[in-house]
Amino acid sequence: MERDLNHEIRELHEKDFNFVCLVYFVVSVKSQTKVIFTVVCAGLVAGCSTSQEEIRFSDERSPSPAPTNAVEVAARPQPARLDKADLLKVEMAVYGYLLQRHFWDAGEYSAIFLQAEDAEVTAIRRAFPNHSPPIKAAYRAGLRPGRTPVDKDTGRPAMILSVDALEPEGDMVSAIGRWYAGDAVTGFYTFELKKSGAEWVIESVK
């Protein structure tokens, strides 16, 4: 009987019925052997593991297929960007405008900090040699969330200026010039600049 049982199991595997977790035992009752087969995990992968298919809800978007090769990636249009020289000129133009607006006259600020590289800060200081309050690089400012920045050199209140240039469109580019001296003293202008020769000139301010 056991030989017949083994032969029958081999036939089941050969026919690929996907019976994976097959439990059997033999019970002897009055000289007759009864074979009981219990299928625990029928049609599953080996090890009785269950298939976990990812659930996608109705409001989910199907992910976009990823690029399959370098040619497809290269074919995608790349956003236009200002080169470093043009970016510097745009920022210089916007900082020059902001520095003439005197946002700091209503407060006793000991410095105006610029979020720019040291070389740019140096160039702007040369363009405004006698500016009051003095112009400094932003890393010299002590920041306090929601509160007025502090000049680390004097311990007194200070203001921070920053410029963000957007992607150019032909010979035009937009930029945002911001000032910040705490949550109560903050704001921004939106600039439209046009390239004229080698320079960028402010066309409008909103």
Q: Where are the domains of the chain?
A: 1-50, 84-205
Residue 120 is inside which H or E element, if any?
helix 118-127
Per residue in 88-103, pLDDT tens?
A: 999 999 999 999 988 8
CA 133/CA 176 separation, integer angstroms: 22
pTM score of the predicted model: 0.61
Range name among 30-34, 107-111, 146-150 with the lowest pLDDT average: 30-34
Instruction: Tell whether the model's pLDDT for residue 51 goes beyond 80.
Output: no
What's the full length of the chain, in residues? 206
pLDDT band, very low/low/confident/very high, at 65 (cuts 50, 70, 90): low
Distances (CA, A) of 138 to 68, 130, 134: 44, 19, 12
β 186-196/172-180 pair status:
antiparallel
Please provide residue 115's backbone torsions phi and psi, each rounded to the nearest 5 degrees.
-85, 85
Per residue in 175-189, pLDDT tens?
A: 999 999 999 899 999
